[in-house]
Amino acid sequence: MRSYPNRHVRSYADIIAGQLGVDASDLGFYEWAGRTIEYHCAQIRDHLGYRVATVADQEELTGWLAEAVAHAERRPDRVRDELLVEFRRLRIEPPTAGRVLRMVRSALRGAEQDWTSRIAGRLDRSATSRLLDLVAVGDDDTDDADDADEEPGSLLALIKASLGNVSLESMMTEIGKLQAVRSLGLCGDQGNEARCCVKRFEPLEFTADLLEGRPEPSQCDQQRVPDQQPV
């Protein structure tokens, strides 16, 4: 109850006060911490058929959130709303707002790591090598890492560049990006599957520990990823 948005607390208080026949201003004298409110919350939960969220509930719902919501929805506020709806459906009182936020962040991070691992597992060794070369930073560049992420003329900088104003020039730039991505050969000969490797997540963090030391897949489409819903 205390985790739900409190933007309308005053209007709720006016409604309840009207039902009880008391002045809403009396709410200011209520003790919002201590045994009294805990006792009243327990009575409300019993009356409505709710229960307190356990650690197991939170872990289970975080996993559900990562799998069922965070793969398609990346906006934290929307993910949080879906989590609260699920809490309400299960008749579980959400934990504190801070704990709910940590659950949302954990689900978003877990979904991103899952996508990264699945995509990395679909790349053959040659594609892995090309990706590592794409994001590699030399020893001489480490001191300048705080000044710029990539050199202005690098392939990675071209791929990550923003669209800008729509024009013929920007369209040609985007075509160049597509050609640059295709040149990486992320899905081998399966050209029509390139989207499965480059368009699923922003950002995707391909790291050396994920890209190195794993068996080479026989085909890119061994584990076909379902289309993501637009957000």
Residue 223 has pLDDT above 50, yes or no: no
What pLDDT is attached to residue 22? 85
- Domain membership of residue 214 (yes or no) is yes
The answer to whether the CB of 217 falls within 8 A of the CB of 134 is no
Return the axis-axis angle of helices 76-89 and 97-120, rounded to nearest 10°. 110
Number of domains in the chain: 2
Q: pLDDT per residue over 107-116, tens digit each?
A: 999 999 998 8
- Domain membership of residue 4 (yes or no) is no
Alpha-helix runs per DSSP H in the chain? 9-20, 35-48, 55-68, 76-89, 97-120, 125-135, 155-160, 168-183, 195-198, 208-211
Q: pLDDT per residue over 30-79, tens digit each?
A: 888 899 999 999 999 999 999 999 999 999 999 999 999 998 999 999 99
Shared domain check, 86 and 41: yes
- Domain membership of residue 2 (yes or no) is no
Task: Name the pTM for this structure.
Answer: 0.60
Instruction: Tell me the residue range of the domain where 183 lies.
Output: 124-137+144-223
Neighbour count for residue 129 (Cβ, 10 Å):
13
Shared domain check, 28 and 86: yes
Q: Which residues pair with 206 in a beta bridge?
A: none
Shared domain check, 196 and 100: no
Q: What angle do CA 121, 126, 132 make, to 5 degrees?
A: 75
* Rounded distance between C-alpha atoms, residue 9 and residue 27, angstroms: 11
Higher pLDDT, 133 or 185: 133
Higher pLDDT, 7 or 156: 156
Shared domain check, 150 and 110: no
Phi-psi region for residue 100, left (φ > 0), alpha (ψ -120 to 50) or beta?
alpha
Shared domain check, 64 and 27: yes
Higher pLDDT, 108 or 219: 108
Higher pLDDT, 207 or 167: 167
